[in-house]
Structure 1
């Protein structure tokens, strides 16, 4: 993992008494962090006077874990993936969260019933449902655009370089779907040595044509620069490039890898009380719907869905770009966080050995 890159954004309070308090919030950067700043940070600062320092990291779980283990914590909240939330909670590195502190839906439905299944964990609360899917450069495939994960692996029919995440997680699952494994059987297959070798054998078929990426900003840039013709990546990043910047990108949703991002508070957070307030504020119904104005990630609350409307351009309907849109749920891979909490280390060791071979 790359070291944390810090980009501090001071959000000045207006109309409230001055406060010496501040929060250090770590997220993933790019269009995603922009959506959080607009939907969460700015209104929270305006309401409370608490300044937000926005910090970017390639994987926020990495600096969080390092700080808690070193006993020198400056992070107040971090946006992390589900498997990391479970693992770090099990390791005693995260603050436990009582669901009763979370605001109810506008109709009074308790938060515990309003969030989608799995979104509230012992030590974390989800804000979005996101996907790793495939984007391609439409100008390279005029009249014959790729449509499936199998097409991503078909260098003969669709020639050109591919972009792929340099990680066992997501790459192995997507390889198995491309090789014909049903998404409901992915983790049964991947839980065997034969299944792991099957996934790597599929990856072998494109290995010499892969440009590996590690940070979320890289895939759309690789496409835009013509370094690849297709790449896996985060659907919100592709949306920002396609709709926000007008890039000629198309998307493949078949076999998309579905996951949550969640807010977590490290043990020893310096501003615990305000961190809890921010967590509750940023996961209420309206705030989650507001985030969808800026990026195409699905809100983690059911009551937010009906409030999702247009992109910030005032004309683009967001629903077709959401990973949770029924039209986009084509053999989706729903992450198994328990599987990855148990097998992350060993599978990445095997993946890295394969990379080096």
Structure 2
């Protein structure tokens, strides 16, 4: 009996000693990282999550969502935080930061680039927010199936609104963002004037009036996997879509889809760490690691979303490089104005919902 007690005490002593070793406590941890699913989630796992686990021993549990702040608000306000790190679009990073949903991070907490350039100078200007660390810049683009059109497919965003030349159903994400920018561009508003125009009642009326012209032919999607499926099934003749989804469908599924870069709306997105979480230190460690030069470059070498750091962009060497949204693509382009959507999104969403219901 004495020997059994002695052995038990010995095991406890060994475990206690192990817990004091650097990294052992982290090795027992896991964090939940929530993103968009599909191609981008697969790229993040290979470029960021698996290498992070290999380096730290912290297991990453992936979750998928369709964006927005509703679930995040619920978790933080009830204190039942299940997601430690979330990939959000820039306007949600701003809005959520204002609402106190996210930890503040800042450049001082981020590593320099592999070339030694400080994070404050390595990240592209205007993408970093108080709570969000940029991960990439993706584009909402117009896409169609070449097998259906051949050389006669759409050429500009105006063609999305031309039911005479291109009859048939077309699909849009069920949200006002991108739909309103496309409507105004197709109605002749220059990219530089989009948000000045949308900020006025007359401009907003003008955008909805343009959408009215194709409303009977619109199919709405809510998840990024849907647009390639809608094209493949022939349910729509063209669709809005994230550029990486089309690249992925062509490479992995051997589709013959074409991208129309004219009218592309680029969206910066990044990582945020939720407030009131129980694993904040590990979550911040993940964000620091995942937004370093090599993980960002590795992600862009898998999926053509532009990395936000110059040092990472210089390390994009694969087949994806020519398909990045900022790789000199032809046609009109605009970067979504995160401040505009953070300030006006709630009101515009209400109007959009009312318009859908008519």
Contact preservation (8 Å) 1:61, 1:78? no
- Is residue 247 of structure 2 the alignment partner of residue 239 of structure 1? yes
Q: Deviations over 1:241-299 (max 9, x none)?
A: 12222111000111111111110001112111111111010001111000012211011
2:261 counterpart residue number: 253
Question: 1:123 is paired with a residue of what secondary structure?
Answer: coil
* Residue 196 (structure 1) shift: 1.0
Q: Could you list the runs of 5+ residues in structure 2 that have no partner in the other structure?
A: 1-22
**Aligned 8 A contact 2:302 2:320 in 1:** no
Q: For 2:276 and 2:210, locate their aligned partners in 1 and report how far apart those are by CA, in whole Å.
A: 44
Distance 1:305 1:337 in 2: 22
Contact 1:75–1:270 under 8 Å retained in 2:
no
| Distance (whole Å) between structure 1 residues aligned to residue 248 and residue 102 of structure 2 | 32
Q: Deviations over 1:287-313 (max 9, x none)?
A: 100001221101111111121122xxx
Alignment partner of 2:229: what SS? helix
Deviation of residue 17 (structure 1)? 5.9
**TM-score, reference length from structure 2:** 0.91
CA–CA distance in structure 1, aligned partners of residues 30 and 296 of structure 2: 22
Aligned mate of 1:203, from 208, 211, 216 = 211
- Structure 1 runs, 4 residues or longer, greater than 3 Å off: none
Answer yes or no: is 1:305 the counterpart of 2:313: yes
- CA distance in 2: counterparts of 1:280 and 1:274, whole angstroms: 10
Matches within 5 A, 1:37-76: 37-59=45-67, 61-76=69-84
Within the alignment, does 1:348 sit opposite 2:349 as a pair? Answer: yes
**Separation in structure 1 between the aligned mates of residue 80 and residue 249 of structure 2, nearest angstrom:** 37
Contact 2:68–2:92 (Cα < 8 Å) also in 1: no
| Bigger-Rg structure (1/2) | 2
CA distance in 2, matches of 1:263, 1:141: 39
Q: 1:30-79: per-residue Cα shift (whole Å, max 9, x none)?
A: 01100000000101111111111000001163322220112211211000
- Secondary structure class of the residue paired with 2:62: strand
2:165 counterpart SS class = coil
Work out which of the residue numbers 325, 328, 331 in structure 2 matches 1:323: 325
Matches of 2:202 and 2:106 in 1, distance apart?
A: 41
Is the Cα contact below 8 Å between 2:106 and 2:129 reproduced in 1?
no
The whole-number CA distance in structure 2 between the counterparts of 1:25 and 1:339 is: 27
Corresponding residue number in structure 2 for 1:131 = 139
1:127-177 Cα distance to aligned partner (Å, 9 max, x none):
101111111111111231211000111111112210111111111111101
Distance 2:69 2:36 in 1: 10
Q: Within 2, Cα distance between the matches of 1:293 and 1:142?
A: 29
2-structure distance, mates of 1:44, 1:355: 43
Which residue of 2 is the match for residue 141 of structure 1?
149
Return the TM-score normalized by structure 1: 0.91
Q: Does 1:186 align with 2:181?
A: no
Shift of the 266–17 alpha-carbon distance from structure 1 to 2, 3 Å rule, reads closer
Q: Secondary structure in 1 aligned to 2:151?
A: coil
Give me the CA root mean square deviation. Answer: 1.3
Distance in 1 between the 2:125 and 2:277 partners? 27
Asked if 1:296 corresponds to 2:304, the answer is yes
Is the Cα–Cα contact under 8 Å of residues 27 and 60 in structure 1 kept in the other structure? no
Cα offset, 1:327, TM superposition: 2.4
1:205-220 alignment runs, 5 A limit: 205-220=213-228
Q: Is the 8 A contact 1:73 1:268 kept in 2?
A: yes
Q: C-alpha separation between the residues in 2 aligned to 1:36 and 1:63?
A: 21
Q: Which structure features the higher share of helix residues?
A: 2
Q: How many residues align?
A: 335
Residue 119 of structure 1: CA displacement? 2.3
